Amino acid sequence: MLRKMTQIINVKFNNSITQLKAESGMFLADILLSADFALPFDCSGKGLCGKCKVYAPDCKVSDADRRLLSQKQIDDGIRLACAVKVEDDITVELFNEGEYIKAKQMKDNAVEKGVSYSFAVDIGTTTVAVYLVNENGVVCRTASRKNAQARYGADVISRIAFCKDEKSVEIMQNTIAFQLNSMMCEILENARLDEKDMDKVVFVGNTTMLHLLMGKSPLSMGISPYKPEFLEKIECTLGDISKCFEVMKSSRAFVLPSVSAFVGADIVSAVLAVDLKSKNENALLIDLGTNAEIVLFYNGKMLSASASAGPAFEGANIRCGMCAGEGAIRNIEIINGKIECEIIGDCNAKGICGSGLINAVSVFLKTGILSSNGKISEDEEFSDFVFEKDGVFGVWLTDEVVITAEDIHNILLAKSAVSVAIKLLLKYANAEMESIDKLYIAGAFGASLDINNATTVGIIPKTLKFKTQAVGNAAGMGAVKSISNEKLLDISQQIAVECESINLSADKDFEELFLNELKF
């Protein structure tokens, strides 16, 4: 039996070179992901999204490259990592688009010796955030990365489907645990702390992400009656969770409780952060992410629901979508018949982030480029930027960045899912939209959302336009608050028990309402 040869892959990233070894015949994307480089990977490596671009001029051009890249990109040496089969030693270069896995320090407050520290961890479907928090609840370091599990599916449903057996669940658990361990180690090294300075770790996330963290099968949440393996708060040690945690193995670990299969600990934590229970108001709290979770607090009662918005709000499953990092278009204007783009960082546009996409759709609606049913106009007056190029029809913001008809459709589906969820929750509470005092928008996407544009697109109801407040990553902040006040851990369990979960898709009006909402 012939042994497979070992190949050397030199990876250039951020002015440094990492040398990897892999067996001949492996795909480059799998090698990079296994080495903790989280590529943009919306299609789970099926060669459909065209996001996992690398500079690898010596690699063969694949069918996926020809289908999804422009000829100029191919000539310039760009390849799709999911389609590069490694047969020889190669050198590749990664693009710094805010997507790759190396932890980015976002906040820098003083770190003092003799003070106890803990980690608050928010495991999102698309993005993972880790906060270093001192005993007084002050965030001293923050790192975020694209969830490495994205290689197995961009959304909750596809990841549930992947977990067909115990081995698949173990792969998922090891993937997230290894990633979190790496992030914690980098933060500790950056802060010049070690394990003896650390107290505990508090985890939040949607119900599926927490099942995968704990190595529990999520399969039962993929079929009716959608019953999770667990919902309650968990207290254990970090080492009890996974052997992949090499740091803080004996430290206390808390997993906040979930409400139901699709209303997780992230929204429970957000309720803690906003302090929704103590406010004398009727309010809606919406965590806008891949799985939009909504809580209605009305007349002292909490109702919750989940809207399957998909990852479009976070730039995933969008042809030129990316996270809100350097090179992302975050806003556009049409001036004298030309599209002008506002780009994050001092560089050329590399893609468009979720909030930028909403802003662009709003401009398209106001100018007539886009009709209320989501159709892109082909009128002559828009021919400078609405055209077909390299087989792709859409609105070309730059020579490389396009918003396609499919992108518009994905945003329309996401917007409609959220709108229907709000209306049905109000119906179950016997409440009117006008009776809502406040709308809290949580999540990184919500923090950068322009309220006027979100109202134009229909994500935010017009009635609530002037009652809307962005509260940032409330899920993460709820976990942060519980670091300095452990009573909140018990309160989180009370919230989860008191919050009634509504299965919206089982409502007799759901389908009709959804179809009616399929317009801007």
Q: 35, 69, 93: which is the final residue of a domain?
A: 93
Q: What is the pLDDT of residue 443?
A: 83
Answer yes or no: do 69 and 146 share one domain: no
Over residues 368-410, the pLDDT tens digits come to 999 999 999 999 999 999 999 888 899 999 998 999 999 999 9
Whether residue 236 is contained in a domain is answered as: yes
Specify whether the CB–CB gap between 167 and 45 falls below 8 A.
no
Mean pLDDT value of segment 170-174: 95
Q: 206, 239, 266: which is the final residue of a domain?
A: 266
- Biggest alpha carbon–alpha carbon distance for the chain: 73
Q: What is the pLDDT of residue 50?
A: 80
Answer yes or no: do 149 and 68 share one domain: no
Whether residue 66 is contained in a domain is answered as: yes
pLDDT band at 250, cuts 50/70/90? very high
Answer yes or no: do 120 and 249 share one domain: yes
Answer yes or no: do 235 and 117 share one domain: yes
Whether residue 121 is contained in a domain is answered as: yes
Q: What is the pLDDT of residue 361?
A: 96
Whether residue 248 is contained in a domain is answered as: yes
478 vs 167: CA distance, rounded Å: 33
Whether residue 153 is contained in a domain is answered as: yes
Would you say residue 235 has pLDDT above 80? yes
Answer yes or no: do 255 and 120 share one domain: yes
Mean pLDDT value of segment 197-209: 96
Whether residue 360 is contained in a domain is answered as: no
Say which residue the tokens 């589906």 belong to.
413
Q: 216: domain CATH number?
A: 3.30.420.480
Q: 266, 300, 331: which is the final residue of a domain?
A: 266
Count of structural domains, the chain: 2
Answer yes or no: do 124 and 207 share one domain: yes
* C-alpha distances in Å from residue 512, one per residue of 304, 347, 508, 515, 517: 21, 45, 8, 5, 9
Q: What is the pLDDT of residue 96?
A: 54
Specify the pTM.
Answer: 0.81
DSSP string of 425-461, one letter each residue: HHHHTT--GGG--EEEEESHHHHT--HHHHHHHTSS-
Answer yes or no: do 25 and 131 share one domain: no
Answer yes or no: do 56 and 118 share one domain: no
* C-alpha distances in Å from residue 438, one per residue of 282, 417, 431, 481: 7, 20, 14, 22
Q: 28: domain CATH number?
A: 3.10.20.30
30 vs 77: CA distance, rounded Å: 20
Structural domain including 171 reads 104-266
Answer yes or no: do 83 and 151 share one domain: no
Over residues 321-344, the pLDDT tens digits come to 887 778 889 999 999 999 999 998
Over residues 95-140, the pLDDT tens digits come to 754 444 333 344 457 788 889 999 999 999 888 999 999 999 999 9
Phi and psi torsions of 446, nearest 5°: -65, -35
Would you say residue 171 has pLDDT above 90? yes
DSSP secondary structure letter of residue 249: T
Whether residue 415 is contained in a domain is answered as: no
Mean pLDDT of the chain: 89
Answer yes or no: do 129 and 233 share one domain: yes
Answer yes or no: do 43 and 182 share one domain: no
- Max mean pLDDT among 20-29, 77-86, 370-379 falls in 370-379
Mean pLDDT value of segment 406-433: 94
444 vs 465: CA distance, rounded Å: 19
147: tokens are 């969830």
355 vs 367: CA distance, rounded Å: 19
Give residue 267's identity as a one-letter amino acid code. Answer: I
- Quote the distance between the C-alpha of residue 237 and its chain's center: 27
Mean pLDDT value of segment 444-469: 90
Answer yes or no: do 65 and 204 share one domain: no
Characterize 274-285 residue by residue with b for buried, 16 or more Cβ atoms within 10 angstroms of its Cβ, and e for exposed. bebeeeeebbbb
Whether residue 258 is contained in a domain is answered as: yes
Q: What is the pLDDT of residue 215?
A: 97
Mean pLDDT value of segment 424-439: 96
Kindly state the percentage of the chain with pLDDT values over 90: 62
Kindly state the percentage of the chain with pLDDT values over 70: 94
pLDDT band at 38, cuts 50/70/90? low
